[in-house]
Amino acid sequence: MNIKILNLDEQHIDDLIYVCSRFPPYNEPLLTGIKIKKKWLLHMLNNYGSVAKIGYFNDKPVAQIIYYPEIANPVGYMRENVLVLQCVYNPNPETRRKGIAKRLIKSLIDETKKMDKYDFIATYAFETGEYYSQREFLLKENFKPIINGDKEDLYYPLTDKALDRGIFNPWREPVQPYIPLKEDRNRAIIFYTPTCESSYVFAKKTYDVVKMVEPNLNITLINYWEKPREFLKRNRHWFIVNANSIKATIFNKEQLIKEIKTALKN
């Protein structure tokens, strides 16, 4: 059994992309999302070094973890002592239960300890709906629940300190309410992150639903890493229609349409 763990570099970006987006067809939204993610990865490599590890099985890329300094995220909480673990992903049924994800996490922990600059590795262990729970896996790898956090908020202590606040995650309900802005009237704004190609795909699907409901509405898609002020002044609410925050997602299309129609009437 040939397992290899590799830190991301420019030559292996396509291998990282393959782990997440290995199945055709590669439609326009996915291709655009991949382009956006590659640009982000190159920026992070140039400014922070490796932000991902790729797991190979018999020389084929099959699993990954993505991580970055929290200070790098312009809409995050900007803590210098926190390393964000964005995701752990092993989508290949034939390569599960072989210890690849465990080796990815161990490699990250060992490497981060040697840096001696972080107190915590923190994550929002969202569910992908595929095979095994990220949360359950990370708890087995000695991650701990964050005090007063959501169920998905976990951290790995690198010192004897405890973490009392989770990381920013776009899937989380915003803490602060959206305060209606005059400039948001008669338009829709959809924010997405460049850290995952699927984020743009979901944003584009949401765009298409808005167009179906109101074809003449002005709709703007915004990468919030590139325009953080636009996101922050809306208190991290990812979807605004006619100066109303929309809670539903593309995963509940019926409710999404209902909320959009209500917002347009207000």
Q: What is the pLDDT of residue 128?
A: 67
Q: What is the pLDDT tens value at each position of the chain, 266 positions in all? A: 699 999 999 999 999 999 988 766 679 999 999 999 999 999 999 999 999 999 999 999 999 999 999 999 999 999 999 999 999 988 887 877 788 999 999 999 999 999 989 999 999 998 766 677 888 999 999 999 998 889 999 999 999 998 989 999 887 888 899 999 999 999 999 999 999 999 999 999 999 999 999 999 999 999 999 999 999 999 999 999 999 999 999 999 999 999 999 999 98
Residue 163, domain member (yes or no): no
152 shares a domain with 71: yes
Segments forming the whole domain that contains residue 251: 182-265
For 136-226, list the strands marked E by DSSP: 144-145, 153-157, 187-192, 218-223
Distance of alpha carbon 105 from alpha carbon 111, whole angstroms: 10
Whether 90 and 55 have beta carbons less than 8 Å apart is answered as: yes
Q: What is the pLDDT of residue 21?
A: 85
Q: What is the pLDDT of residue 208?
A: 98
Residue 34, domain member (yes or no): yes
8 shares a domain with 139: yes
153 shares a domain with 101: yes
Count how many domains the chain has. Answer: 2
153 shares a domain with 203: no
142 shares a domain with 23: yes
Question: Nearest-CA neighbor of 190 among 163, 176, 168, 208?
Answer: 208
Q: What is the CATH number of the domain that holds 193?
A: 3.40.30.10
Residue appearing with tokens 């239960």:
97
Whether 256 and 263 have beta carbons less than 8 Å apart is answered as: no
Whether 136 and 125 have beta carbons less than 8 Å apart is answered as: no
134 shares a domain with 12: yes
Q: What is the pLDDT of residue 172?
A: 82
118 shares a domain with 30: yes
Distance of alpha carbon 224 from alpha carbon 16, whole angstroms: 22
Contacts for 80 with CB less than 8 Å, ≥ 6 apart? 69, 70, 71, 117
